Amino acid sequence: MHELDSKATPRTMISEQKLAQRVAELAEEIDRDYADSDRLLAVGVLKGSVFFMVDLLKHLQVPVAVDFFQTSSYGDSTEPGEVRIRKDIDLPVRGADVLLIEDIVDTGYTLRTILDLLRFRKARSVRLCALLDKTSRREVEVPIHYRGFEIDDVFVVGYGLDYDERYRNIPYIGRMD
């Protein structure tokens, strides 16, 4: 858990323009890779991934179904590495090409848990698209197929990411100093 001054103003780390450009590039790659898929299922992790996911999916030409997981977050009474699923997805996974979409990969525990669950449910394929990657914080391995930006170990907010449910609506990625 990072302790922050709740009145602090986030400093721009990745501008709106850079985000838009990178999102368009990722979408192009995804569109190409899934051009032959007849069952692409985009699965977001609430709530942080929503802004990124909407922007990304609007670029895609390939038909895509959409669903969401919600997991327990920082500060809940969970053991380190113990991730709880608060909301499961509604759509069937068996035989689908699942594209898991996440705002940020930190320790990796959240995505490791979800990736294992999707494989257990016999998805035809599972790939991960993450906007931000804090590689230096990783504790469990997760393969990121589509990665927006690698960032240092700093706490970031905006474009969906929050600090205590604040700052999600900031249109850029800002760092809290």
List contacts with ligand IMP (CB under 6 A): 45, 48, 73-74, 102-110, 155-157, 161
Report the residue number, 48 or 148, with the smaller CB distance to ligand IMP.
48
111, amino acid identity: L
Q: Which is nearer to ligand IMP, 36 or 79 (CB)?
A: 79
3 state SS of 135: helix
Taking residue 66's Cβ as centre, other Cβ atoms within 10 Å add up to 15
What is the rounded CA–CA span in Å between residue 116 and residue 100?
12
Q: Is 67 a catalytic residue?
A: no
Say which amino acid occupies 140: V
HSE (side-chain half, CA atoms, 13 Å) at 139: 10
Smaller CB separation from ligand IMP, 38 or 76: 76
> Of residues 106, 116, 133, 177, which has the active-site annotation?
106
- Kindly list the catalytic residues: 106
